[in-house]
Amino acid sequence: MTDRPLLGEPLAMDLLNTRWISGGVALDLFDTPDGLARWLADNALAGRFPADAAALPPLRHTRDVLAALVAEPGSPTAAAELNAVLAHGSVHRTLGATGPATATVVDDPAWGPAWAAAADYLDLLRAPDRIRRCGHPDCVLYFFDTSKNGTRRWCSMAGCGNRAKAARHQARARADRPA
């Protein structure tokens, strides 16, 4: 499988980015047997959740819900669906020997990774205007804008940003040519 682009995004954005386009072909990380294990490892979740087939339907569902929320942030239907995902788990706070501690508890281990991504999305909503889809019309990737002034437009300046700059340059060159 082609290397997955844009690693290192927050968990919710990374779940959205498990679908991408490479060479004009739509790819889905969760279509391969090793895709879930790879995604869990990429996000330091491999030790917390099993990489079994039961986790794939909840992850695909949560990915669709997150895509709907990013496309239409105020969608009551998508919000209800996200709340249904979040209902599968909770965070329990305790006082341990070394101080405060938290533990995530899920009702079914298959929902663990999906719940973690949904909970991460809630954290990202502290800055909802920073959750973005790449500005290139042919790109399907999402990112969380951590730039100082919040003006990032591309998933990657080296990829989509350069393609957009090259297209603008070619358009100017064509317009400047004598007829």
Q: How far is CA 148 from the centre of its chain?
A: 21
Listed by start position, the domains of the chain span: 11-176
Helix (H) or strand (E) holding 2: none
Helix (H, G, I), strand (E, B) or coil at 94: strand
Instruction: Report pLDDT for 153.
Output: 82
Largest interatomic CA distance in the chain: 79
- What is the mean pLDDT of each successive set of 10 residues along the chain, which is 179 residues long? 79 96 90 91 94 95 97 96 98 94 94 97 93 87 87 75 57 65
Q: Write b or e for each residue in 123-159: b if 16 or more Cβ atoms lie within 10 A of its Cβ, otherwise e.
A: ebeeeeeebbebebeebebbbbeeeeeeebebbbeeb
Residue 44 in contact with residue 64, Cβ under 8 Å?
A: no
- How far is CA 158 from each of CA 9, 120, 154, 164, 178, rounded to the nearest angstrom? 16, 27, 9, 10, 32
pTM: 0.83
Residue 116 in contact with residue 92, Cβ under 8 Å?
A: no
Instruction: Report pLDDT for 27.
Output: 93
Instruction: Report pLDDT for 159.
Output: 66
Instruction: Report pLDDT for 149.
Output: 85
CATH of domain 11-176: 1.10.3300.10
Concatenated DSSP letters for 81-131?
HHHHHHTTEEEEEEEETTEEEEEEEESSGGGHHHHHHHHHHHHHTTSGGGE
Instruction: Report pLDDT for 54.
Output: 95
